[in-house]
Amino acid sequence: MNKLKSLQKDKVGQFMIFTQSSEKTAVSYLSQNDWKLDVATDNFFQNSELCIQEIVKGSLERKKLEQVYNRYKDPQGENKIGIDGIQQFCDDLALDTASISVLIIAWTVRKATQCEFSKQEFIDGMAELGCDSIEKLRAQIPKMQQELKEPG
């Protein structure tokens, strides 16, 4: 997704969330359909065999994301990751909570409230990044940092 424009990245993320498909599938369908989100999703769902494969794959990834989320969720607040969970999340990523990398992750997943992630933000953001594990997210961090440095 490095070479995509901001609007295209947004459409890829929306396509992935709506269809529960991979980034590769999203880029393929959107580019084939002139980056028209509604046309691309219609074509995706009309291709039932691929659609079923992607939905099954997406549900498996969703289960992995739920497992990652459950590791960090607030024991008192079922639908959020609080300060302790964020600290553990950062520790697992080997990041200081005050580092620029944490801010990049928060911005990328569109975190709305300081010092917490809602369940929806966390799962949708991780899915949009194509990360269903901490290891995959850790591998994405240098790419996200580079994207921030590149103009345009």
CATH fold of 60-149 reads Recoverin; domain 1 (1.10.238)
pLDDT score, position 97: 87
On the question of pLDDT at 2 being above 60, the answer is no
CB atoms within 10 A of CB 4: 16
Is 1.10.8 the CATH number for 1-46?
Answer: yes
On the question of pLDDT at 77 being above 80, the answer is no
C-alpha 139/C-alpha 126 separation (Å) is 13
On the question of pLDDT at 85 being above 90, the answer is yes
Q: Could you give the residue ranges of the DSSP H alpha helices within the chain?
A: 6-19, 23-32, 37-46, 48-72, 83-92, 100-108, 119-129, 134-149
The residue that leads in pLDDT, 1 or 41, is 41
C-alpha 47/C-alpha 45 separation (Å) is 5
pLDDT score, position 56: 56
- Assign 11 a pLDDT band (cuts: 50, 70, 90): very high
Instruction: Give me the percent of the chain exceeding a pLDDT of 90.
Output: 30
Half-sphere exposure of 17 (CA within 13 A, CB side): 17
Task: Give per-residue pLDDT as tens, 124-135.
Answer: 888 777 788 999
On the question of pLDDT at 62 being above 80, the answer is no
Whether 81 and 73 have beta carbons less than 8 Å apart is answered as yes
Query: Which residue is it, tokens 């010092």?
Result: 115
Where exactly are the structural domains of the chain?
Answer: 1-46, 60-149
On the question of pLDDT at 120 being above 80, the answer is yes
C-alpha 122/C-alpha 21 separation (Å) is 17
Whether 71 and 132 have beta carbons less than 8 Å apart is answered as no
1-46 and 60-149 agree in CATH topology: no
Residue 39, amino acid: V
C-alpha 98/C-alpha 81 separation (Å) is 17
The residue that leads in pLDDT, 96 or 54, is 96
Average pLDDT over residues 109-116: 78
Model-level pTM? 0.61
On the question of pLDDT at 70 being above 70, the answer is yes
pLDDT score, position 104: 85
By C-alpha distance, which of 143, 117, 149 is closest to 129? 143
- Assign 86 a pLDDT band (cuts: 50, 70, 90): very high
